[in-house]
Amino acid sequence: MDEVDRAVAVLRERVETAEKDLADLKAQLAQAEKQALDARRDNTSDGTLKGKWPLRPNEYDRYARQMILPNFGVEGQLRLKNSRVLIVGAGGLGCPAAAYLAGAGVGKMGIVDGDTVEESNLHRQIAHNTFRIGTTKAQSLYRYLHDLNPLPTYELFEEHLTPQNAERIVSKYDVVLDCTDNPATRYLISDICVLLGKVLVSASALRTDGQLIVLNCPPAPQGSKGGPCYRCVFPQPPPPTSILSCGEGGVLGPAVGAMGVLQAGEAIKVIVRGHHTPYQEGTSPPLDNYPPPSLLLFSTPLSGPPSLRSVRMRSRRTDCFACSATSSLIPESLSDGSVMDYVQFCGGVPSPESTLSPEERVSAAEYAARVHSVRKDHLLLDVREPEHFGIASIDGAVNIPLSELEQGPDVADDGNQITPEWLPPTLPDDAPIYVVCRVGNDSQVAARRLKAMGLDAGGTRFIGDIRGGMRAWKEEVDETMPFT
């Protein structure tokens, strides 16, 4: 396809998307006008409903199947209708969680997310679709929820949650769902929920596993007896180098979806039971009326049956940084960063343990032009996991995952250097070794590891990496190559 055909295809796609967006807006307008008409017809001047029925006729029809549940009833439905729930993260967790909360009839829902929809999201983030690629996730999720149930009020925050905006956003809501995927934001959400007296339903998922916990329930003031916060359970964050993203480790759509559904279920139970009501300073909630804190572990491995296990948790820690009596955390210190820098607390921006010098790195285009197609006496080592390598690789590359490189001794018991089995015996001693990974981080660590193993022959053999990894190879050399 030449450039003109490509431009036509792009414009045609944009027109189709615009037409669909216009149809969505017209449908939303029609529904809003109907709601306004119903409100004027059904409500008295003071905002109360006429007659003896506390819900509208269509609400009895819509929510009937849950209202007939034992211990739910009309009272539970009214609690949902009067509740305000904040969804932080409109991705794999947030989409199913928000869908079931909107379907259940939560009165007001807030959606916080500053990202846009990408094609790689669609296998698990079920509220988004192909036509909304490039749309903000908050806006895309809103359209899905409004089509599902136009009765709740929806508020969008097309931004990321930060220490500066957290109080402004979270203070408007009763229950918060942490549907994010990075430790710094998790600690921030927990801290602001402690400070503002909000119940937090937190979940995470990676690969085929997930975990769920209800935090700060009951939402008692700092120093009072109440439910543990995120810091009580995880006082210290994991090392940055141990954290896998979905892009690196992968995630099974149903696994993350199951955790989002469970989040919604826990939030509904908290609201229907009235457990989201904060306790005032100087009062102690009757803890016997609340379920004991527990961590739910879920797994649906590809090689075996699914499992669900609950682990009993302790209550609040007396030395907790956020919720103990000795805590110095207040809303002002959270917003100005004087007490906690969340990024630094979680180890800063994840980066390689050791970086290479510019002389030890080559661009993808340079490797393709000067080495790959010309010089045959070299070794290209791909240190991604086999699953990544099996999807797409550079011709001639040898796959040795970084996790395998980092294991084992460098020398034998007799003190002699160990020659790795993957090193071709015919490779000349001065033949260079190049390393490639997904985006150019692990390859630097691997190159350092190879030198520590003595494979640079005392500095006579070049060992370096391809800057930018397979992503750069796709951008600079072969745009047809799949990138995962």
Residues marked active site are found at: 246, 437
Residue 308 marked ligand-binding: no
The pair of three-digit structure tokens given for residue 118, joined into one six-digit string: 């990408």
Give the residue from 78, 69, 149, 76 showing the smallest Cα distance to 109: 149
Task: List Cα–Cα distances, 181 to 117, 187, 199, in angstroms.
Answer: 16, 11, 19
Is 92 within any annotated ligand binding site? yes
Residue 229 is assigned to a ligand binding site? yes
Say if residue 181 carries a ligand binding annotation.
yes
123 annotated ligand-binding residue: yes
Query: SS3 helix, strand, coil % of the chain, rounded to 5?
Result: 40, 15, 45
Q: What is the DSSP string of 26-47?
A: HHHHHHHHHHHHHHHHHB-TTS
- Whether 200 has a binding-site annotation, put simply, is no
Side chain identity, residue 80: L
**Dist CA 234 CA 333 (whole Å):** 21
d(CA 447, CA 424): 17
306 to each of 208, 267, 302, how far by Cα in Å?
9, 23, 9
124 is in an annotated binding site: yes
Distance of CA 294 to the CA centre of its chain: 21
Is 122 marked within a binding site?
A: yes
Q: Is 137 annotated as a binding residue?
A: yes
Query: Is residue 388 part of an annotated ligand binding site?
Result: no
d(CA 335, CA 457): 53
The answer on whether 193 is annotated among ligand-binding residues is no
Q: In the numeric block, which tokens belong to residue 109?
A: 């829902």
Beta-sheet strands, E only, within 413-456: 433-436
Following DSSP, what letter does each residue of 77-97 receive, concatenated?
A: HHHHHT-EEEEE--STTHHHH
* Binding-site residue ranges for Zn(2+): 229, 232, 320, 323
* Binding-site residue ranges: 92, 113, 120-124, 137, 181-182, 229, 232, 320, 323
* Binding-site residue ranges for ATP: 92, 113, 120-124, 137, 181-182
